[in-house]
Amino acid sequence: MVKTKCWATLLPATLLLLAACSNGNTNEPSGSASNAASPSGTASASANDGGSSASGLAPAKLTIVLYGDESDRMKELTKSKFQDIVKQEINAELEFQFLPWSEYGGGKTDLMLSTGEDFAAYTDSNYMAKSVAKGLYADLTPYMDGAAAADMKKTVDDNSFKAFQLSGKQYAVPVGNKPNSAEFYSVLVRQDLLEEVGMSSVSSLAELEQFYEKVHAAHPELIGYAGTDARRMLMYEYTDKNLYWLNDFLAIDESAQDDKIISWFETDEFKAYAGIMREWYEKGIVPKYAATNQPQLTSDWNSGKAMFWAGTAARPFEGAAAISQAVPTAKLVNYFLNRDLPKISRGTYSTAWFVSANAADPERYVMFFNLLQKNQELYDLFAYGIEGEDYTLDANGRMTRTATDELIPDWLMMNKNFMRFDTSVPDDFIATYKAWDDDAIISKAAGFTFDNSPVKNEETKINGVFSEFLTPVSSGFVDFDKNYPKAMEKLKAAGFDKYMAEYQKQFSEWYASQSHSQ
């Protein structure tokens, strides 16, 4: 009958489309799934360009996931020069895939890992620990001692490799090699202002405050410190210990040879520190709006409206670019207040590459990571582009970039063996920078990763207490005596003791398993 005929047309049509619906549960694999296997074996390279070192390698395809924006120049170079070089060197076809930062360490990255896609991206020790537990990262140990990784073994610090090992296996390959000890333990001072008020250097808290008062008298519109956390730069003032913070709550003392975890907020040092911060807040060194509008502090600093900031090895020249737009005469110098203890380093790497467990050819990925840090020529190409088109070099190897488009991000590549400096960076800055890590020690916690799964609830709760009650106390926004007891009460109620005990337990176990000989 007509009726049945109509059903026969309407229903299947509807159902067919429904099958593709997001929560449609009709998951009979109607399509042919045979050719849906992973794209690993797709060898689309027909003509082998026959590079010297690529001979003997079967064609492979590499997908590298990067986070952030892809610049136009990056697109261009990927299609041309990058492809050619990678093809020639390791006979691989290279593809970069860009994702928003929100997908880093989760989100789509997790989906891609779980569905067994063939790719590599960068990671950190937390994300690595989680993913390795689920078996999502390829074990790269077999390729580390061979020719695949030979060059980067020379240009990347050995400790960096250790930091990405779990029970002796290499699950991620570190990238970058830059002096980064004592991050935020120094005071980055506007040297131009310092000299303007007749001072030459800053070496103690008293001098720092004197600097503020003198500049404040001359330029009342400027704020003092463009931050709310100064525990590191002030550390040499309020304690003899060499504290290294594992997170917001916990620290270790690097000058002691033990595995003791310190509960930062319960120490006398914290009380002393909070006292200084309260004074700074009342004096106006930290502006009143810092309590409600922290991002404003960073833009204040960038527009030259602040006197000092927390320093890192690279900030004197990294930060100068932004400030000199607003204040062309600005000059930045790092000072330590009363430092007599070694700087602490977490390792010199920027980040590390992992390879997905389903990758068809993990070794080829390792070869690519090796290329990135192989020699000056390749580093220049991947970080800066083509000489003459993207940058020019002067006789001293100083660089002037003619294109502003970012290629493989600077922060990721930074390797002191290869990195180039702008012509505006003074020689003594470079010398200081290169020697920055000379007296540094590697933290005794370097390479340790905390597995938070047993205390996940507690962690969420204490993080809430931290931002609501502890930050105002430690940044000096509220009176210490009135608010500290209540904040501690809340912290304990949130299960801090259990969290701390778990942390101590894991750290002690890990510490005992390491043979420590610093």
List interacting residues with another protein (CB under 8 A).
2-3, 5-7, 9-11, 13-14, 17-18, 20-25, 27, 29, 31, 33, 36, 67-70, 72, 75, 97-98, 100-105, 108, 111, 114-115, 122, 124, 126, 176, 180, 183, 295, 299, 302-303, 305, 312, 318, 322, 325-326, 349-351, 409, 411-412
Residue among 208 and 465 whose Cβ is closer to another protein: 465
Residue 145's closest CA among 128, 169, 113? 169
Contact 139, 171 (CB under 8 A): yes
Residue among 176 and 447 whose Cβ is closer to another protein: 176
Residue among 29 and 198 whose Cβ is closer to another protein: 29
Residue among 195 and 422 whose Cβ is closer to another protein: 422
Residue among 72 and 394 whose Cβ is closer to another protein: 72
C-beta of 350: minimal distance to another protein in Å?
A: 4
C-beta of 249: minimal distance to another protein in Å?
A: 16
Residue among 100 and 426 whose Cβ is closer to another protein: 100
CA distances from 334 to 68, 157, 315, 481 (A): 30, 25, 8, 33
C-beta of 313: minimal distance to another protein in Å?
A: 10
Residue among 349 and 450 whose Cβ is closer to another protein: 349
C-beta of 355: minimal distance to another protein in Å?
A: 17
Calpha distance 413→230 (Å, rounded) = 29
C-beta of 20: minimal distance to another protein in Å?
A: 5
- Two structure tokens written together for 165: 């090992």
C-beta of 21: minimal distance to another protein in Å?
A: 5
Contact 79, 70 (CB under 8 A): no
Residue among 351 and 508 whose Cβ is closer to another protein: 351
Residue among 99 and 488 whose Cβ is closer to another protein: 99
Report residue 356: phi and psi, to 5°: -65, 150
Please report, for the chain, how many H helices and E strands are present, in that order.
23, 18
C-beta of 450: minimal distance to another protein in Å?
A: 13
- Two structure tokens written together for 206: 């008293």
C-beta of 303: minimal distance to another protein in Å?
A: 4
Residue among 20 and 395 whose Cβ is closer to another protein: 20
Contact 175, 156 (CB under 8 A): yes
User: Residue 253's beta-bridge partner residues?
Assistant: 243
Contact 312, 233 (CB under 8 A): no
At 259 the three-state DSSP class reads coil
339: left (phi over 0), alpha (psi -120 to 50) or beta: beta
Burial of 371 (0-12, 13-18, 19+ CB in 10 A): buried
Residue among 182 and 202 whose Cβ is closer to another protein: 182
C-beta of 108: minimal distance to another protein in Å?
A: 7
- Two structure tokens written together for 59: 């064609």
Side-chain-side CA neighbours of 130 within 13 Å: the count stands at: 14
C-beta of 483: minimal distance to another protein in Å?
A: 23
Residue 331's closest CA among 221, 188, 209? 188
HEC-encoded secondary structure of 157-225: CHHHHHHCEECCEECCEEECECCCCCCCCEEEEEHHHHHHCCCCCCCCHHHHHHHHHHHHHHCCCCEEE
C-beta of 56: minimal distance to another protein in Å?
A: 32
Contact 179, 434 (CB under 8 A): yes
